Amino acid sequence: VYIVEFKAGRTDLYYVIRVAGDETSAVDNNTNNNNGSNENEITLAIGTHVIVDADRGNDLGRIASLPFSINIILETLRNIIHTQAQNNRNNPGGGNDEHESSSPLQQPSKGGQSAREPHIKHVARVASQQEVFALQAKLMDEEKALTAAQYRARYKKLPMEVVNAEFQWDRNKLTYYYYTIGGQRVDFRDLVRELFKLYKTRIWMFDVSS
């Protein structure tokens, strides 16, 4: 299991078991050789760019840790749940396909509630050189998206500062990172609707005030 890092310091847990050519894929965890070790296990170097399973699609991140033990996994999961609980208090309620206001680790569920149980996702494969080069174009689009949100938030005089924007690799989601000004509650529903109309993708607002 690895920690994979994305833009704005966002991290999550991912597993990888087998490599086929340049691609990684999951296999049965019980597949062992005669010596009792898993012949399918591989090690990815820190800094390796990988394509991973994401919210209704794929994302591109960077390996940020060496493989680690179950005890570290459990401690990381506890920290993730704690972070989710804090963000849920700042952003009550669920989302829909147009916009969502929650942590990127949350999955909306029925009744307007958000599941708080993170799960370890899958590293689909190592990213190609072409995909890594394409990150620059993604960064440029994110800068434009950030400017668009900042302008609209200030025009609407919302008590918030939008500080970062992040497209999911497949462009199925656009996450905005913001902090509140003076601890005020922010009603950004109109802002999110405008951004959804502009980018035609799901919009997530992630509070980094704490």
Write the pLDDT tens digit of every residue in 112-170: 334 445 578 889 999 999 999 999 999 999 999 999 999 999 999 999 999 999 999 99
Instruction: State the pTM of this model.
Output: 0.70
**157, 181 in Cβ contact below 8 A?**
no
**Whole-number Cα distances in Å, 144 to 11, 56, 140, 193, 200:** 23, 24, 7, 17, 15
